[in-house]
């Protein structure tokens, strides 16, 4: 591929320091994703720089005017300290307009709202848990057709914010209490879903018109006490000590029959298309012991650091990290 000028957009606090020495390990730094992407872009022959953004669109415009990028590599996950605003920055990129990597604004809006996602998927008959929405300030009453246990979460938060073992509620009193807690703590509407007991699967999808489904990945709870729900809580996702204690690991999902694999791949592709996602995404699923598959959510622009689920599953598929980053760039360029 021709040498391109690539402008990476990263959160101001996640701009890697200038001199990351050769061979210096940065895998545990908060800015590792940004550094992996930058150094890989350079390694595959592009001219790459990074601009830090917090709450100033002018920083993006200035970098575009000064650097004249061929493409923007979007690594922003929030704006103005609000994760919800990442979608608005992508709208701005459309308006500048410079080609950019990853998902378009509409796909980000639809996938971010868990209730909207459910409504769209249910229209397309893509299987997901039954659900009810509890608006802030309204009375919490469980519809008779929705049976316990339920899973309570924010309609728009990510990264398992507000998700703990207490998110699974077994009775109406606990439901009311948890919904109230979520309303007060996160100031968002709350969604309560049928609790799907089973395996936790992640599927990476890559593409715009033609989609590539990466190998099915599974989150394993090797030493989790049997009486505890096996769900990706905040601590399961982010607390290294907790992960070690409970044997939380991930890897290629084992014992998936060819028929089930085909079914999961089809569900994931349909989800990606129904939500109008482009670029790359990770679909979160639950698999019941009966073989029933439920889409939990779609994540456009998922984590792409080295040695994370998405890049590991791409590697298993045969794409080196350089291939993955190179493909994300080509895809952004082709979309123009
Ligand atoms: N309906 C559900 N049934 C069972 N587990 C769920 C359900 N919804 C969410 N979870 C668990 O909570 C985790 C986080 O929920 P998710 O909707 O993916 O939110 P986030 O955007 O924070 O990742 C999931 O990975 C899964 O383990
Ligand atoms: Mg998730």
Ligand number, closest to the Cα atom of 236: 1
Name the residue with the closest Cα to ligand 1, atom 9. 296
Q: Ligand 1 center to residue 164 CA distance, Å?
A: 10
CB of 195 closer than 6 angstroms to any ligand 1 atom: yes
Give the Å distances, CA to CA, from 123 to 88, 127, 265, 278. Answer: 26, 10, 19, 20
The pLDDT score that the predictor gives to residue 22 is: 63
Query: Please, which contacts does 162-171 make with residues 24 or more away whose CB atoms are closer than 8 Å?
Result: 162/186, 162/234, 163/231, 163/232, 163/233, 163/234, 164/233, 164/234, 164/235, 165/228, 165/229, 165/231, 165/233, 167/231, 167/233, 168/195, 168/229, 168/231
Show the tokens assigned to 73: 């590599």
Contacts of 186 (CB under 8 A, 6+ apart): 154, 157, 161, 162
Tell me which of 19-28, 107-116, 238-247 is least confident. 19-28
Measured distance CA(331)–CA(336) in Å, rounded: 9
The two counts, helices (H) then strands (E), for the chain are 11, 13
Assign 156 a pLDDT band (cuts: 50, 70, 90): confident
Q: Looking at residues 142-170, what average pLDDT do you find? A: 91
Q: SS3 breakdown of the chain: % helix, strand, coil, rounded to 5?
A: 40, 20, 40
Residue 286's SS3 state is strand
Among residues 319, 317, 254, 314, the alpha carbon closest in space to that of 287 is found at 254
Measured distance CA(183)–CA(135) in Å, rounded: 8
- Cβ distance 264 to 201 under 8 Å? yes
- CB burial of residue 184 (10 Å; 0-12, 13-18, 19+): exposed
How does pLDDT run across 27-58, given as a tens digit for each residue?
Answer: 888 899 999 999 999 999 999 999 999 999 99
The pLDDT score that the predictor gives to residue 46 is: 97
Q: Looking at residues 15-35, what average pLDDT do you find? A: 83
The pLDDT score that the predictor gives to residue 83 is: 83
Phi, psi (deg, nearest 5) at residue 134: -110, 105
CB of 129 closer than 6 angstroms to any ligand 1 atom: yes
Q: Ligand 2 center to residue 81 CA distance, Å?
A: 20
Domains with residue ranges and CATH for the chain? 5-101 (3.40.50.20), 129-194 (3.30.1490), 198-334 (3.30.470.20)
Contacts of 297 (CB under 8 A, 6+ apart): 111, 114, 117, 283, 284
Share of the chain above pLDDT 90, in %: 80
Q: Looking at residues 84-95, what average pLDDT do you find? A: 92
CB of 160 closer than 6 angstroms to any ligand 1 atom: yes
> Does the pLDDT value for residue 336 go beyond 90?
no
How does pLDDT run across 175-204, given as a tens digit for each residue?
Answer: 999 999 999 998 989 999 999 999 999 999
Q: Ligand 1 center to residue 232 CA distance, Å?
A: 6
Index of the ligand 1 atom closest to the CA of residue 299: 21
The pLDDT score that the predictor gives to residue 21 is: 62
Q: Ligand 2 center to residue 69 CA distance, Å?
A: 32
Q: Ligand 1 center to residue 55 CA distance, Å?
A: 29
Among residues 76, 5, 3, the alpha carbon closest in space to that of 34 is found at 76
| Residue 159 vs residue 190, higher pLDDT | 190
Among residues 79, 106, 81, 113, the alpha carbon closest in space to that of 91 is found at 106
CB of 284 closer than 6 angstroms to any ligand 1 atom: yes
CB of 163 closer than 6 angstroms to any ligand 1 atom: yes
CB of 297 closer than 6 angstroms to any ligand 1 atom: yes
- Cβ distance 214 to 315 under 8 Å? no
How does pLDDT run across 290-332, given as a tens digit for each residue?
Answer: 999 999 999 999 999 999 999 999 999 999 999 999 999 999 9
Index of the ligand 1 atom closest to the CA of residue 197: 4
Ligand number, closest to the Cα atom of 163: 1
Share of the chain above pLDDT 70, in %: 99
Q: Where are the alpha helices (DSSP H) in 165-308?
A: 172-186, 234-238, 240-245, 258-274
Average pLDDT across the chain, whole number: 94
How does pLDDT run across 110-137, given as a tens digit for each residue?
Answer: 999 999 999 999 999 999 999 999 999 8
> Does the pLDDT value for residue 23 go beyond 70?
no
């Amino acid at each position: 591929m021709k040498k391109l000028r690539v402008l990476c957009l990263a959160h101001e606090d996640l701009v890697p320091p200038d001199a990351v020495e050769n061979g210096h390990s940065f895998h545990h730094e908060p800015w590792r994703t940004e550094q992996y992407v930058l150094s890989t872009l350079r390694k595959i022959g592009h001219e790459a720089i990074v601009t830090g953004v917090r709450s100033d669109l002018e920083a993006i415009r200035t970098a575009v005017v000064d650097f004249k990028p061929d493409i923007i590599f979007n690594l922003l996950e929030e704006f103005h300290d609000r994760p919800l605003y990442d979608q608005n920055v992508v709208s701005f990129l459309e308006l500048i307009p410079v080609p950019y990597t990853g998902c378009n604004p509409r796909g980000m809006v639809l996938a971010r709202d868990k209730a909207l996602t459910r409504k769209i998927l249910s229209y397309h008959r893509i299987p997901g848990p039954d659900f009810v929405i509890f608006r802030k300030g309204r009375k919490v009453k469980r519809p008779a057709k929705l049976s316990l246990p339920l899973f309570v979460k924010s309609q728009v938060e990510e990264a398992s914010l507000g998700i703990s073992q207490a998110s699974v509620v077994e009775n109406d009193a606990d439901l009311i209490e948890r919904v109230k807690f979520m309303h007060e703590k996160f100031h968002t509407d709350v969604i309560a879903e049928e609790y799907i007991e089973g395996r936790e699967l992640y599927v990476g999808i890559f593409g715009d018109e033609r989609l590539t489904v990466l190998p099915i990945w599974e989150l394993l709870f090797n030493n989790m006490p049997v009486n505890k729900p096996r769900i990706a809580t905040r601590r399961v996702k982010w607390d290294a000590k907790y992960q070690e204690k409970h044997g939380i690991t991930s890897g290629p999902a084992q014992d998936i029959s060819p028929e089930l694999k085909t079914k999961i791949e089809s569900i994931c592709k349909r989800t990606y298309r129904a939500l109008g996602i482009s670029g790359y995404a990770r679909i979160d699923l639950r698999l019941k012991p009966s073989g029933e598959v439920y889409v939990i959510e779609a994540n456009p622009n998922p984590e792409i650091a080295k040695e994370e689920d998405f890049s590991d599953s791409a590697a298993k598929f045969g794409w080196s990290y350089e291939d993955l980053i190179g493909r994300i760039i080509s895809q952004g360029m082709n979309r123009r």
